[in-house]
Amino acid sequence: MQQIVPGIKHADSANFFLMAGPCAIEGEDIAMRIAERIVSITDRLDIPYIYKGSYRKANRSRADSFTGIGDEKALKILQKVGRTFGVPTVTDIHESHEAAMAAEYVDVLQIPAFLCRQTELLLAAAKTGKAVNIKKGQFLSASAMRFAVDKVKDSGNERVLLTDRGNTFGYQDLIVDFRGIPEMRAFGVPVIMDCTHSLQQPNQPSGVTGGKPALIETIAKAAIAVGADGLFIETHPDPANAKSDGANMLHLDLLEELLVKLVRLRAAL
């Protein structure tokens, strides 16, 4: 991890690493409070940590859904989180021209699952020199992600991560095929399991995505058991009132207990 994401705490830890934070940057105060809490937990448990927060949400079902507080404002908050707590940060980009802009503020550029085949977007992210976390499309097999990895590496950027977030199962559900984790690890890149988005229930009649957060622990344990290098968990102190994806987020008060269990599982393996 140290070579892929510089600045990560506890880079020599034998633990899995964690990408965690709110779905979207809602404001400075709550972003900082979430970061402080997670850093305190991961420091105690010796878990390498990357703070996650989307500066803008481009993939929304409804036109009136929350998309952000303003690009520059949100990116500056992410930058402040990183500098204040000494941790790397990650955010999504959606179009090629966003790559260079976001790269000025964060350490990892994330390619959303629906956009993982967008060649120009991948190349733009790669050319920044930042680490690139590519989420596997819900519509793709694990083996197909080799080509996304190749696009970034062929641009001269070896700093690639892959994240599984489940496969489309019917119109309103997702299912995780855990065979994909070792299959993608065979590409020679770290593989992360997104334990929250993989429990989404999309395409609801209301236009608001549902979720099954009670199963986050199940997904996380299974991912560790099959060799995932990292876990991705969206968390919030009040998921019911979060401005984005609250239905599948983990309550922040439950994070430490979950991580304690996962550290023990990792040690046993």
Asked whether residue 6 is domain-assigned, the answer is no
pLDDT in tens, 214-240: 999 999 999 999 999 999 999 999 998
pLDDT in tens, 9-34: 776 678 999 999 999 999 999 999 99
pLDDT in tens, 239-254: 989 887 778 899 999 9
Residue whose pair of structure tokens reads 């199962």 in the numeric block: 169
Residue whose pair of structure tokens reads 């970034």 in the numeric block: 152
**Which amino acid makes up residue 113?**
A
* Contact call for residues 195 and 221 (beta carbons, < 8 A): no
The residue among 132, 200, 141 whose CA lies nearest residue 172 is 200
Specify the 3-state DSSP secondary structure of 61.
Answer: coil
Specify the number of domains making up the chain. 1
Asked whether residue 63 is domain-assigned, the answer is yes
Mean pLDDT of the chain: 92
The per-residue b/e assignment along 165-179, b for 16 or more CB within 10 angstroms, e otherwise, is bbbeeeeebbebebe
Asked whether residue 10 is domain-assigned, the answer is no
pLDDT attached to residue 58: 73
Domain with 263 in it: 17-268
Asked whether residue 27 is domain-assigned, the answer is yes
- C-alpha 210/C-alpha 204 separation (Å) is 7
CATH number of the domain to which 118 belongs: 3.20.20.70
CA distances from residue 93 to 57, 102, 113, 145 in whole angstroms, order as listed: 9, 7, 11, 18
